Amino acid sequence: MKPLIPNTFGLSVYAKQVETATSVAQLFQYWQRAKAQNLPVLILGQGSNTLFTSDFDGVVILNRIMGTVVRETESHILLHVGAGENWHQLVDKTISEGIKGLENLALIPGCVGSAPIQNIGAYGVEFQKFADYVEVVELATGKITTVLDGQYGYRDSIFKHQYGEGYAIVYVGLTLAKQWQPVLAYGDLKNLNPATVTAQEIFTHICRVRQQKLPDPAVMGNGGSFFKNPVVPTAVFETMRANYPNIPHYPQASGEIKLAAGWLIDQCGLKGYQIGGACVHKDQALVLVNTHHQASAQDVVTLARYVRNRVAEKFSVWLEPEIRFMGKVGEIDAVKLLAQDS
């Protein structure tokens, strides 16, 4: 029987083989063996932020390279972290040990190795703020390269492009300033007092809010935020604001305006909308869920396509998935798939 691929959507998807690598050497070995068998390879963390649209016709390697080393300079705390470590557990551990900076990124699902790929972000903070270096292994040769410039963008990085295919992230270096400044510009963090607030208070507040708003994948399968927040030209935004004066918006350094995808979906009346076993979450429209673990991959794709089309009809804005789509032999173009007729 084929092994189940771990994924937080809770979908019943399978691979020819699933291997667990706890070292760089093991990761290299499994990749080489799969290639010798002429099988496609997918390196996976915890299967969050990923939608498998079908079974995978190859080998899935679970990256479980662990370990955290902490060093100090006069001005910074330096972390060297294995790509297989759980991201939230890292945030929790640093905060509990008095190391400040990562608190805004609490409760983001996934492994540390996924953080630079997506340039994960929440509550006004992105991974790139703390990025020092990322170590990648070239799987064809076993050569390890230290990447200092991740070319980070909104949910984008060099690790989706130049260091995507044929490479795997094995260690991540983070640098956290000892002179800590709270980031309170986003949402109801604005209500906290910057003069007295602690990193622990921000961490606790964000955990509480996320737990209230976001479904636990162990209870209701999901991949986290399904769509990116769209960025539109100012002229487009002004047209929208004329019709929706209270539209949430976030000016960008580029001069464009970032919109809240969840708000756009909610304005279409789609909270709770269901296709098969897939549903728009009743409390957070940005999250598509696998209700009662009964959804098929096609249910999720069909629902995502419907949501995207409805938002485009109402606002003339096309949402792009934040979730990465995986097909039979590797990653597929999510936008292209959703743009197809069902």
Token pair for 248: 């949430």
Cβ-contact 289, 323 below 8 angstroms: no
The secondary structure of residue 191, as a DSSP letter, is: G
Residue 316 catalytic?
A: no
Residue 225 catalytic?
A: yes
Residue 279's alpha-carbon distances to 73, 287, 297, 307, in angstroms, are 49, 9, 12, 10
Cβ-contact 264, 311 below 8 angstroms: yes
Enumerate the β-bridge partners of residue 170: none
Residue 310 catalytic?
A: no
Helix, strand, coil % in the chain, rounded to nearest 5: 30, 30, 40
Cβ-contact 178, 206 below 8 angstroms: no
Could you give the CA distance from residue 147 to residue 171 in angstroms, rounded to a whole number? 11
Query: How many CB atoms are located within 10 Å of the residue 234 CB?
Result: 14
Could you give the CA distance from residue 284 to residue 261 in angstroms, rounded to a whole number? 11
Cβ-contact 61, 42 below 8 angstroms: yes
Query: Catalytic residue among 103, 114, 225, 310, which?
Result: 225
Query: Catalytic residue among 114, 126, 322, 324, which?
Result: 322
DSSP string, 28-73: HHHHHHHHHTT--EEEESSSTTEEESS-EEEEEEEE----EEEEE-
Could you give the CA distance from residue 48 to residue 8 in angstroms, rounded to a whole number? 5
Cβ-contact 54, 330 below 8 angstroms: no
Could you give the CA distance from residue 56 to residue 275 in angstroms, rounded to a whole number? 24
Query: Catalytic residue among 48, 103, 126, 155, which?
Result: 155
Tell me the catalytic residues. Answer: 155, 225, 322
